[in-house]
Structure 1
């Protein structure tokens, strides 16, 4: 027997020499290979098949974790599990992990990312009936790179889901609600196309074969999502003002620019941050304006320089909403059709977001989606106030703008689905919730208001209002992530490098008595100000692709005083849905979600 920390020393010696290290281990209790700390979050260690030693080998040495220094470590099981054996179709005995890895490598290209290999072999192992959970540990770059860190060409990020097993009704997939999958989603691999017909939890679904041959589909085949279905929650509704010809729009812009230059008042560039005295907009071919005191009025004479200046009167501030040109309107509507959880509406009062055109600080025309109404039912107070403004230069730029805006709308729709998602009905068999306390004071937060720059400690604690923990309940994997007011999603626990190692809750003693409260992480409250949502997702089955809990925001953060770096998350995931519209999402009972809102201020 050899300890993890002893192996870590040898691994670190290789890394010190610049070796691109990949470690693959098919052995019992291998989930913490290379780690220096003890496993304090999982079940008490199970007996190994060796004689018990009567001496204590514990020491104070804590080597740095190799996976945090660039090593990629792939192992057969969690550090509390046994690695099972398996006999393949040729009656050759392997470790189940080794057999699944070989199958995955046979089915994937040499340029396959380590993440894809891992997802494929995990699905194959589930098909084999093995309950062990393999572990992939390493920094994000290694997980996205090839298995042995060999160079590869630029590879487009694709959302891939592995097949698990064949059933009478179709193909079981290793992906569920937490991956953004839903009834109606279509996936393809070569000539085979699947459509999801049943959701089976956070990490499983069933698909029927709509093209190709079911019998030829083997476990571990990676299918790419090719068509998204809409959410069971109501679609995100976007209002698109009627378009105008490009030359007419240019005339409007020139008039606006000339009046701006001549009239010294506060010209609003971001309507989401201001409440101007007058707002000008084109409606059914007629220019109107809303006066803060007198209400809606028609701009007599249209948007001419003379009529515009006269209507301003004594206003101290004004905003002009420019309509979209025909080329942009057509491209945006077409792009939205690729996302069935987004609906274009003709009535502005029905929409959560509106396409807004404005002159930015550089006096250039730019477009954004801006939140147009707030309702408690939709929980939109936690949605981004707007997306980034994208400059419109000419008709040739319409396609790129449409692609950016539709992707932003898709992200908002996914966030909205999370905000509206309810835990499974019936008895909650994971009675735990999130709690926060000041890092320095050690005191529980007395309010939901926190200040930018505060350091908080994050805990999971037993929820006695839900009946508390029972000894016959099953432990779960937990995932804690946040969504801020600009739509950025960040994973707080577990770390992406550690994966699901040491992720089984609650922490219990030998009698399965749970610890009442366990600290998960410390973090600094950062911009933006607004409502930040924190989610605790629990699942009896591990979610292996932790990158699904990261998403770039739809509104770019400004750099913090100490940094100018940005996020680099995958963007393909985390909305729920099907084409059936319902306020209630029916969910299985093997997972649950708890939400907590903190309101950040500067």
Structure 2
């Protein structure tokens, strides 16, 4: 099983969020991490909370860790479970009788007790296969189900389960310890009412992924590991000083996780309809600005200012904190402290109090990109293209983004469009073999692309192809079905010479019907190239893509 790195960070950050944004007192937060996060401790803590709670109280249950996917043939006809149960995997992996598992039915029984007492309960799961933990048949925010095999995560390939099958009946009849290399099967016909099925339940559950899918772990802009789902949730409050309704939180999480960060998981949400307009924890949305994060200077270290707040408190590299006399920028981060440089103002003294005034974050690039650029602007470029490339595209040997084949003997030609007769030379060198042509991007359009991508902290634009991990080229392509032609902007490895390469194009591409673009068309193209670049970055790293523009 893959060892998760960010679970404790998630829990500590959520505790900080509840205290800073929702005024929870530390004494009212039961934090179970590492060896304390056992099945027994979790169930006892939940039952104790049920006992203490009264109608109208607010309770938040948050879990970050591994989730198990359990086959259960008795649930084959269940429209939500579809033949499976889910389970949380606690830290006591070697407990007898599989005592490390907290099954979804166990959670539903406890959650229903909160609902019966008219407690406002919010459950948040950042784990694999979490969508079915407390799911209901009514899924107003369920993202569409996909049978795409690239997205589906069968138990035999998950990070929490592995190769062989064992019968979960022995959970209560055997003292065999939990085998992390085994798939799980459970024969259990018990069906527990789902909390959200109770009318006016005031219940909401937020899950990192659908019941059949894994959830990603990421590293944030400062290099701190988190669950991607939790990172998205924390980011909402990082960028919003004012409270927001749960419906907007759901929209923002979906947008961040699936559309911007491009993780394959699909978060899932079930809630009492009345929770749409409440805040995250089920209370009316506050209209006043939230109390800002504060920290005190506690000394100096190597010329840096040391403050007594770190990533567990919501501080990150690049943050700006201010007081009446000084402004400091965070340069290094720890769990409960950070180092900062004086940005403006007077020398900082020990004991000075600072307020987080700018959540801006900095990070290092994950990918070096070269934009293959022509010396010609669009009008002259098109003239050269019509002379050197267009005639070649009408030959039977011309291959493009649509019709290329893997062929080690097929040459690839890198055109400059600055040389008269470049097309004829390529045709002669091809010697009747299929060939591809890679083109530079017109100088004026390339300049706009460089400005756009230059703002992205996740990539670094370099000056030569030799420095680059990927190069953005143009290719003139023709759709064989409707004979429509267009220009493809495609990332691939550098083509630094006239040579032979088997893999000519990548899937990281976008296109434009023409190179003569008006303002709106230019904006749309730049946006499409940015999205393609994000997809390329995601293919290279699981780290969070920093969306703060480079300063």
Instruction: Give the TM interval when normalised to the shorter protein.
Output: 0.3 to 0.5
More helix by share: 2
If asked which structure has higher relative contact order (CA below 8 Å, sep 6+), I would say 1
TM-score, length basis structure 1: 0.38
